[in-house]
Amino acid sequence: MGHTTPSPTPRIKAAAVVVAAEALALVAFGVLDLRDMHPDRAVLAVGTSIFFFAYAGLQLLAARGLLRLSSWARGPLAFTQLIQLGLAWNLRDANPTVAAVFAIAAALVMWCLFSPATNRLFAEVDAEARASQQ
């Protein structure tokens, strides 16, 4: 009867660190957009910055959920990584270095989120949660 609570694996921790770095980059983009604000596009700059800040906050919330082994966190993180892969594709000609960083980070997070070991861990966590509810 001595069930041990699983702890985050190195892959889960790596995914959370990469997502936190992505969130920090989003905050930096938001700040830079505000710093570069021109009077003729003030509303756009403020709106874009608010979006970046909110997106970063949601990324950090999901990363925290991932570290707590909450299954719900994998869905939003996978969705945002797919968006990031699309951004990388769009940036491939304009800025290949940034595109490569975006693509590598997204691929790493996706691999960490859905590797067989991570899937087994979340299946175990979900099974324990169902068993504790009965």
Q: What is the pLDDT of residues 3-47, one digit of tens each?
A: 677 899 999 999 999 999 999 999 998 999 999 888 898 999 899
Residue ranges making up the domain that contains 78 = 10-133
Position 3 in a domain? no
pLDDT, position 97: 96
CA–CA dist 34, 53 (Å, integer): 11
What global pTM score does this model have? 0.88
Position 1 in a domain? no
pLDDT, position 133: 86
CA–CA dist 110, 68 (Å, integer): 18
Query: Is residue 111 predicted with pLDDT exceeding 70?
Result: yes
Position 4 in a domain? no
Domain total of the chain: 1
Q: What is the pLDDT of residues 37-55, one digit of tens each?
A: 888 989 998 999 999 999 9
pLDDT band at residue 131, thresholds of 50, 70 and 90?
A: confident
CB-based contacts of 77: which residues, under 8 Å, 6+ apart?
15, 19, 59, 62, 63, 66, 109, 113
